[in-house]
Amino acid sequence: MYLNHKNLTIRLFRESDSAELYDLVDSSRATLNRWLEFPQRIKALDDCQEFIRSIQTKYHNHEGFWAGIWIDDTLVGSIGLLSIDARNKKTEIGYWLGSQHEGNGYMLTACKLIIGHIFAELGLNRIEIRVKSGNFRSQRIPKQLQFKHEGTLRQAESFQGVYYDIWVYGLLKLDNRKQDQ
């Protein structure tokens, strides 16, 4: 998979990206650890290599993927499909940016590219984005993309000893077509 718009490129991670991925996670650890579990599992370069191998398997099994977001030749974050429900033609998008790259519109552009790929190439009908309560920066993305707030799952996720509500946003292929007109 390779998607691009101007100087922003989304592509699947390769093992050769391990060092760059580790450096980005490590430099953004304080910010990422506030909302995400995966940075706690990335403690060394070997962890990144194993992560990349596991997501390559996931991709080849049509179960989802994680891809890097590059601006020119610099890795700035990641976006992926956490799972793919082929029977119901739906998926959930996950995303994160390195803290030094926030606020530049990169994630909004990356999400638009992924949404187009999901509906046009993968033929899915529904996309969800789930956001922990309090993560207002992440919550802005589905709102800007015209996802519908479909509900709140109360205390649905325990993270670092705290139960968080999860805000669920959904976008249907039909909704996306209406936006394109």
Q: Output DSSP code: residue 71.
A: E
First to last CA, the chain: 27
Q: What is the pLDDT of residue 179?
A: 63
Residue 93: pLDDT band (50, 70, 90) is very high
Residues in Cβ contact with 30 at an 8 Å cutoff, skipping those fewer than 6 apart:
99
pTM tops 0.85: yes
Residue 117: pLDDT band (50, 70, 90) is very high
Longest dimension (CA), the chain: 47
